[in-house]
Structure 1
Amino acid sequence: MRLEWLEDILAIADTGSFSGAAERRMLTQSAFSRRIKQIEDYVGVELFDRAHKPIRLKPTTTAQSEQIVQLTMALRQLVVDLRRGERMTSNRVVIACQHSLTAMRVPALLQQMPMERDGIYVRLRSANLDECTGMLLSRQADVAIVYRMPDELNDFGTDFLEELVIGSDRLIPVFNSPMPDLRRALTAQNGDQRFELPYITYPPDVFLGQVMERKILPFLNPALDHAPKLETALTLAAVEMAAIGLGVAWVPESLAQERLAAGTLFDLSPVLPVFDLQVIAVRVQGARNMAEGIFWSQLAAI
């Protein structure tokens, strides 16, 4: 059953005549009558009482009129959705980004871009670093936005990956108090004084876990007896755990800014190690569609 046929039936029900329905459907009366005959031949029954003036639906058709209305609306919406889906596919850019970047940096980044002008539709996919890389290489994502340690090159070389450095961040230690006892212990003249430092850790197979193991923990003051209190792969969870005093958390500074400004977290970087991070965008060389090319160009212009 075609959508136009259902609309023809409803037009007759609304106007009460073939001529009025033909005018509404912008057809000649003869062309409209032929189409009604075609509908009835397809269904195998007469749908209209032609003996009655004005013409009306037969009782069996009337009994199905509500279903015809609902089916017509559903088919119209399906057409709209299919057309919208096609536009979104051609104008869509899929961005894979690390969880902490999804929460803070990427929304601010997108806000700087006049994508409405180009009709670009963005789909964000949040994942850990390895998953972002996997989505990029398997073409499930057009662009990956991730953190990188500045002193490390990407593992894939530059033959088929293209990179842009689009920002920077710092991994900083935060806690729900300024920890004056810690500061006193680290500045004490007595080198035998020890201080227990509980901290939030990350799994060793995620990016920030690797940063902690290689760039933070080896540089802690020997006077600190540091012990992991809790492990999480989510930086937002680490922020919350630090805010309730479970332990010191090393988190991206951008993620902690609001709590630092509100005084519910304190930056301990004057006495504990920090590490600078780059924020980079990566794609497989050569844009695959218009949206990706425009998005990449706008990234390069920031």
Structure 2
Amino acid sequence: MRLEWLEDILAVAQTGSFSEAAERRFVTQSAFSRRIQQIEEHVGVELFDRTRKPVQLRPTTEAQRARIEELTDALRQLVGDLKQGAKLSANRIMIVSQHALTATMTSLIIERAQRTAPDASFRLRSANLDECLTQLFSRQADIAVVYRLPGSSHSVRSDFVEAAVIGDERLVPVLAADRVAWLLERLAAGELPFISYPADVFLGQVMERAVLARLRRDLRLEARVETALTFASCEMALAGVAPAWVPMSLARRAIEEGRLADLSDHLPACDLEVTVIRLLGATGGLERDIWRQLTDRSLTLGETG
């Protein structure tokens, strides 16, 4: 049963006249009469008592009037929701970012994107690096925001994607300010307790390559806690458990407040690039405009360290 048919039935019931119902439905009376006949042929019963003036619903139809009204309202709402959903979908950008970036820089990235598309809606997902790329390739995301070591390339073929650097980050060693003396004693003894990242996540690989490989020559390394989450690492450093390497953008406020100490004078830090990636050949106008805004070199997010 079509929505317009239900509306036709109710128009006759409310006006008691085929001619007035046709006027209300913005069609000619002859066209409306043909439509009513088509409805009755489809249902297989006469819906109206034409012998009475004003025209009335037959008892069997009248008994279902409340259901017809409810169904009409529900279908109208469904049509409206579908139209609204299509509008939102056409005006929505899906962004996936690494967990650490979600907590630190993604809000700045979305703020910049809104300069170009103030009416756009954004859906943000958080994942590890491999999952970010998987969502991009499966088109579950339009743009991925991920870290990269300076001078390196992403582990995807350049003929599949385009990437751009939009900012800089720095992975810095931090510890609760009142635990620095304890740490210096441990370093003097040739030991380094620390918060580690799993070897199979990006920051774990960065730590091994850029930090731990250097420290291992002179110190006995002791991983006190392992976590994949930079926020958890930062909290444990604040609690004085052990030093943690976290993005400066995550630690800056606590450092400025004197709760965390930046240990870069004692332990190596590591520079990172913040990059955006999208599939080559993306044609959506909204995505294209936002990409242009994000990759505008005059609007780089800037260094965070």
TM-score by length of 1: 0.84
Any stretches of 5+ residues in structure 1 without a counterpart? Answer: none
- Cα deviation for residue 48 of structure 1 reads 2.9
Q: 1:210 aligns with which of 205, 212, 217?
A: 205
CA contact (8 A) 2:93 2:120 kept: yes
Q: Does the CA contact (< 8 Å) of 2:117 and 2:290 recur in 1?
A: no
**Other structure's SS at 1:179 match:** helix
- 2:293 aligned to which of 278, 286, 298: 298
Which segment drifts farther, 94-103 or 47-56?
A: 47-56
Q: What's the counterpart of residue 241 of structure 1?
A: 236
Aligned match of 2:251: 256
Paired-residue identity, %:
52
Q: Is the 8 A contact 1:183 1:271 kept in 2?
A: no
Cα offset for 1:21?
2.3
Q: CA 1:177/1:42 → structure 2, altered by over 3 Å: closer, same or farther?
A: same
8 Å Cα contact 1:40-1:46 kept in structure 2: yes
Aligned residue pairs total: 297
Q: CA deviation at 1:43?
A: 1.1
Query: What CA distance in whole angstroms lies between the structure 1 residues aligned with 2:237 and 2:70?
Result: 54
- 2:274 alignment counterpart: 279
Please state whether the residue corresponding to 1:60 is helix, strand or coil.
helix
Residue number in structure 2 paired with 1:54: 54
**Whole-angstrom distance in 2 between the partners of 1:253 and 1:66:** 63
The whole-number CA distance in structure 2 between the counterparts of 1:196 and 1:68 is 78
The 1-side partners of 2:278 and 2:226 are apart by 31
Letter paired with 1:3: L
What does residue 122 of structure 1 align with?
A: 122
Matches within 5 A, 1:77-156: 77-114=77-114, 117=117, 120-156=120-156
Counterparts of 1:40 and 1:26 in 2: how far apart (Å)? 20
Task: Indicate if the aligned counterparts of 1:182 and 1:195 stay in contact, CA closer than 8 A.
Answer: no
Q: Which runs of 5+ in 2 are unaligned?
A: 300-305
Call closer, same or farther: CA 1:230–1:47 in 2, change over 3 Å. Answer: farther
Opposite residue 239 of structure 1, the aligned amino acid is C
Per mean C-alpha deviation after superposition, the further-off stretch among 36-45 and 157-166 is 157-166
Cα 1:117–1:131 shift into 2, 3 Å: closer
1:225 Cα deviation after fit = 4.8
Larger displacement relative to structure 2 (200-209 or 223-232): 223-232
- How many angstroms apart in 1 are the aligned matches of 2:65 and 2:242? 66
CA deviation string 1:159-189 (max 9, x = no partner): 4432211001111223343423246537xxx
Cα distance between partner residues in 1 of 2:64 and 2:193:
70
Contact 2:116–2:289 under 8 Å retained in 1: no
Q: Which residue of structure 2 lines up, in the alignment, with residue 289 of structure 1?
A: 284
Closer/same/farther in 2, CA of residues 115 and 82 from structure 1, 3 Å limit: farther
Q: 1:254 offset after TM fit, Å?
A: 1.5
CA drift at 1:31: 2.4
Structure 1, residues 5-31: CA drift from partner, whole Å, max 9, x if none? 111122233334333322221123332
* Aligned CA-pair RMSD: 2.9
Please give the secondary structure, in 2, of the residue aligned with 1:286: coil
CA contact (8 A) 2:171 2:270 kept: yes
Cα distance in structure 2, aligned partners of 1:11 and 1:264: 71
